[in-house]
Amino acid sequence: MINRQIHLVSRPAGEPVRDNFKLIEAPVPALLDGQVLIKHSWLSLDPYMRGRMDDKKSYAAPQKLNEVMIGGTVGDVIDSRNPAFKAGDHVVGMGGWQEYSVADGRGIRKVDTSHIPLQAFLGPVGMPGVTAWYGLNKICEAKAGQTISVSAASGAVGGVVGQLAKAKGCRAVGFAGGPEKCRYVVDELGFDACIDYKAHPDSKSLYAALEASTDFLHAHFENVGGPILDAVMVRINDFGRIAMCGMISGYNGEPIPMKFPQLILTSRLRVQGFIVSEHMDVWPEALTELATLVATGKLKYRETIANGLDAAPEAFFGMLKGKNFGKQLVKL
């Protein structure tokens, strides 16, 4: 059996390009005792991957060169020498940008697809969903009657943030790029308002649009940074909470200036970054709630699907530029 893999072979200088990656063919190794062989069905593409490509200090070690690019996967066990798994089990893990992976049972978990599509375990019932759940509940501390805003509101994380906020009785205000995405955020996801940041390219016009859309904010969930964050910081209440999940506007090395850092002090804001993998204790609770909402149709989501492993790099580049709509996946 031949395994097709995509390796990172050089560090991007600014925006990643195709030459940073190489398609490799390698034999699938024979299993040792305790191991399982997984055939991947879906690969998740996520913004955090861009940060891993740089050789610099961060919350996790850089992606090693000439090795399989990191990434979340779901698939089926096709051979097992581990008593905890059998052929046919559906599993989710970090199998990377490849068609097969071998695991020792750690870092993978079985999932039930009776009422939830397999790929949803890479989206609303996976890392993006738990990220939204944690930031909203533990940092934003959302409560009924409050107003919560979120950037990248049509994305895999932002869309869940707003829907969970609405389920708590909050007012949800989103930021998204373009009228189609904003209509989706309001009409399908149920947000109260959505601001098109492409029509408001600077913090002053974003602030005006935000002021016209809602009263002052109680909390904000940040995925982007830049002018959106500047506008929010002027429009948030004293003692507001800001969950810093992502800063995608600077992932290719661009500086992200902050216009009004003094507001952190004068408005006594709590600005907290977080990495969801450091909070595994909440995952069971979060996944139970998210799975129930998805299975009952109360949590909606959208997917952008690229077909085949070869399509992963281009799909990744497009995701960093906001070309995807909802969760970006690769069907293998």
Condensed to tens digits (0 to 9), the pLDDT of residues 83-118 reads 999 999 999 999 999 999 999 999 999 999 999 999
Domain segments of the chain as ranges? 2-123+302-331, 127-277
The one-letter code for the residue type at 183 is R
**Which residues, in sequence order, are CB contacts of 236 under 8 Å at separation 6+?**
216, 217, 218, 219, 220, 242, 267, 269
Q: How many CA atoms lie within 13 A of 279 on its CB side?
A: 19
Q: What is the CATH number of domain 2-123+302-331?
A: 3.90.180.10
DSSP category for residue 20: G
What residue ranges in 9-52 does DSSP mark as E strands? 21-27, 36-44
Q: What are phi and psi of 92, to 5 degrees?
A: -120, 140
Q: What are phi and psi of 281, to 5 degrees?
A: -65, -25
* C-alpha–C-alpha distance, residues 95 and 102, integer Å: 8
Quick check: do 2-123+302-331 and 127-277 share a fold?
no
CATH 3.30.470.30 for domain 127-277, yes or no, is: no
pLDDT for residue 256: 84
* C-alpha–C-alpha distance, residues 54 and 79, integer Å: 35
**Which residues, in sequence order, are CB contacts of 330 under 8 Å at separation 6+?**
42, 43, 44, 45, 305, 306, 307, 308, 309, 311, 312, 315
Q: Do 6 and 24 touch, CB atoms closer than 8 A?
A: yes
Q: What is the pLDDT of residues 163-212, one digit of tens each?
A: 999 999 999 999 999 999 999 999 999 999 999 999 998 999 999 999 99
**Which residues, in sequence order, are CB contacts of 78 under 8 Å at separation 6+?**
37, 38, 39, 87
Query: Nearest Cα to 160, choosing from 44, 302, 331?
Result: 302
Q: What is the pLDDT of residues 212-262, one digit of tens each?
A: 999 999 999 999 999 999 999 999 999 999 999 998 887 777 778 899 999
pTM of the complete model: 0.94
Q: 11-16: long-range contacts at Cβ-Cβ below 8 A with a sequence spacing of 24 or more?
A: 11/53, 11/54, 11/55, 11/65, 12/50, 12/53, 12/54, 12/252, 14/252, 14/253, 15/252, 15/317, 15/320, 16/50, 16/53, 16/252, 16/313, 16/316, 16/317, 16/320
Q: Do 194 and 215 touch, CB atoms closer than 8 A?
A: no
Q: What is the pLDDT of residues 3-57, one digit of tens each?
A: 999 999 999 999 999 999 999 999 999 999 999 999 999 999 999 999 999 998 8
Which residue's entry shows tokens 């199998």? 95
Q: What are phi and psi of 277, to 5 degrees?
A: -70, -10
